[in-house]
Amino acid sequence: MFKIKITQNQFFAEIAERQSQVEAVQRLSHDFSALRTLVGESGLQELAISGYKRALGHGLRLQRSVDEYIRYTMYFGHRFSEDPLFLWAGETLRYDTIFDESLRMDVLRIKVDDFRNVAVGADGRLFFGAIRRALGLDYVSLPNFGRSSRTIPELLQKIYPEKWSMLSSASKIGFIELAYKRSAEHVLGAERAASVQCILMFMLGSYYDSDPMFPWARQILEDTSATGEQRGTRLFLAACALGQRFIVTQANHQG
């Protein structure tokens, strides 16, 4: 009898959770209709569901907190709360001196707003400025990626100075270490390919290569039949195409 009750409870809990997921996807599909053109319906669903699960993993239980968390995954990347570029986000979500969920999300929102004001700007003006600068890069003349080299940090600062200025030294060190690690995991080998990977991590979020928003990145990086150099070139071209689409879509929305 007791076992049956547990099974029933689990069953109903699963149904309730599935229903909550479906509702979250519906709400976000409406809010992020422009995103659908970039990732398609299934990509949007995958984003919302993975965001939903991560939000619950952070102990968020309120609908508005979960929705807000999922929105942030769409702005900052699907694993933004683990991303060294946004150390403040993970720290805030893990604060063990703020027991109230609403207050924790309030503090997170204040930090998000600070970041947006400095690094994104009204209507994403600063972000699109950075995309334009990145589109001016030439693959052949990209610097080599070295863990302790200053050339890559200098390049990142040149491309997107507003975002770079928001990073603490711990963030910068953590990010470069992670970029080095991710390049090694993808066996990129070629120095310029690693540099492309690092720039994309900086622009799109450190875990962009597993983000449902950028399925092409995963496909390219996991193509073991291609050399590191070939994958780097393809990554660069795909990123340029995405950048162009961003610029065009933004221009259409502004127009």
Partner 1 sequence: MCIPGCKYQEPSRTPEVVSGTKLPCTLNLYAFVVIVGGPGNYSSKDPRHDKAWDNYITTAATRHKDERLKPLDDECLHFFVYREAYERRWNDDVKNGHLDHRLEHVKSIKSRGASSYVDFIEQKARARKCNLVWFDSPEDLFKLLRGLSRQISRVWFFGHAKSDRLFLRWENEGKAVVQITTSDVVDKADLRARFVTNDKDRLHRFYGCNTARDIAGWAGTWSKTFNVYSVGASETIDFKGSGKMTMTTPAGQLRFFSPLGMYSVIPYGPPGDLP
Contact 63, 21 (CB under 8 A): no
Task: State yes or no: residue 18 binds partner 1 (CB under 8 A).
Answer: no
Contact 66, 23 (CB under 8 A): no
Task: State yes or no: residue 103 binds partner 1 (CB under 8 A).
Answer: yes
Task: State yes or no: residue 64 binds partner 1 (CB under 8 A).
Answer: yes
Q: How many residues of this chain bind partner 1 (CB under 8 A)?
A: 52
Q: Cβ closer to partner 1: 17 or 41? A: 17
Q: Hunting for tokens 């609403």 — which residue is that? A: 102
Q: Cβ closer to partner 1: 35 or 226? A: 35
Closest alpha carbon to 155 in 204, 212, 200: 200
Task: State yes or no: residue 164 binds partner 1 (CB under 8 A).
Answer: no
Among 66, 89, 142, 152, binds partner 1 (CB under 8 A): 66
Q: Cβ closer to partner 1: 128 or 175? A: 128
**What is the C-alpha separation between 188 and 230, in angstroms, rounded?**
9
Contact 216, 208 (CB under 8 A): no
**What is the C-alpha separation between 152 and 233, in angstroms, rounded?**
18
Q: Cβ closer to partner 1: 101 or 191? A: 101
Task: State yes or no: residue 124 binds partner 1 (CB under 8 A).
Answer: yes
Q: Hunting for tokens 């939000």 — which residue is that? A: 55
Q: Cβ closer to partner 1: 116 or 218? A: 116
- Alpha carbons within 13 A on the beta-carbon side of 154: 9
Contact 100, 92 (CB under 8 A): no
Task: State yes or no: residue 17 binds partner 1 (CB under 8 A).
Answer: yes
Task: State yes or no: residue 118 binds partner 1 (CB under 8 A).
Answer: no
Among 25, 48, 93, 105, binds partner 1 (CB under 8 A): 105
Task: State yes or no: residue 20 binds partner 1 (CB under 8 A).
Answer: yes
Among 8, 26, 42, 63, binds partner 1 (CB under 8 A): 63
Contact 213, 228 (CB under 8 A): no
The span of 68-76, 136-144, 145-153, 229-237 binding partner 1 (CB under 8 A) equals: 68-76
Burial 46-84 (b: 16+ CB within 10 A, else e): bbbbbbbebbeebebeeeebbbbbbbbbbebbbbbbbbb
Task: State yes or no: residue 161 binds partner 1 (CB under 8 A).
Answer: no
Q: Which residues lie near partner 1 (CB under 8 A)?
A: 16-17, 20, 24, 31-35, 38, 56, 61-68, 71, 74-77, 96-103, 105-107, 109-110, 113-114, 116, 120, 124, 127-128, 203-205, 246, 249-250, 252-253
